[in-house]
């Protein structure tokens, strides 16, 4: 089957991750003489990674988070001194977020 036919089928099946990674995976597979199972596994992994990245991008879009700012966006009158960084402003304990998004405090239970 020709490359263009494979790409048409991948597009029809909405396998955009496979389509994007196909040339690189095939070049590596030919050079290193990978087994067909390894090639298919690499293509499926590329597809899964692309779907996860697209899902995260979509979730960030619908979350409507404020735009990121850089140092130039901040007013020069709101600079922090070293002394203002030493003590927290509120009496509540700091909250940490784990990799899975769960919050935990630093206070002992």
Q: How many residues does the chain have?
A: 109
Cα–Cα distance measured from residue 73 to residue 15, given in angstroms and rounded to the nearest whole number: 40
Cα–Cα distance measured from residue 5 to residue 17, given in angstroms and rounded to the nearest whole number: 16
Report if pTM > 0.75: no
For 35-69, the pLDDT digits (tens) are 999 999 999 999 999 999 999 999 988 988 777 77
Indicate whether 13 pLDDT > 60: yes
| CA dihedral angle for residue 35, residue 36, residue 40, residue 43, rounded to 10 degrees | 60
């Amino acid at each position: 089957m020709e490359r263009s036919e494979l790409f048409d089928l991948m597009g029809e099946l909405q396998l955009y991750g496979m389509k994007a990674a196909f040339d690189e995976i095939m070049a590596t597979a030919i050079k290193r003489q990978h087994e067909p199972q390894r090639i298919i596994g690499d293509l499926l992994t590329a597809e899964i990674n692309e779907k996860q990245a697209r899902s995260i991008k979509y979730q960030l879009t619908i979350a409507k988070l404020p735009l990121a700012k850089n140092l130039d966006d901040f007013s020069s009158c709101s600079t922090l001194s070293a002394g203002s960084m030493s003590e927290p402003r509120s009496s509540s304990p700091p909250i940490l977020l784990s990799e899975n998004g769960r919050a935990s405090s630093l206070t002992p239970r």
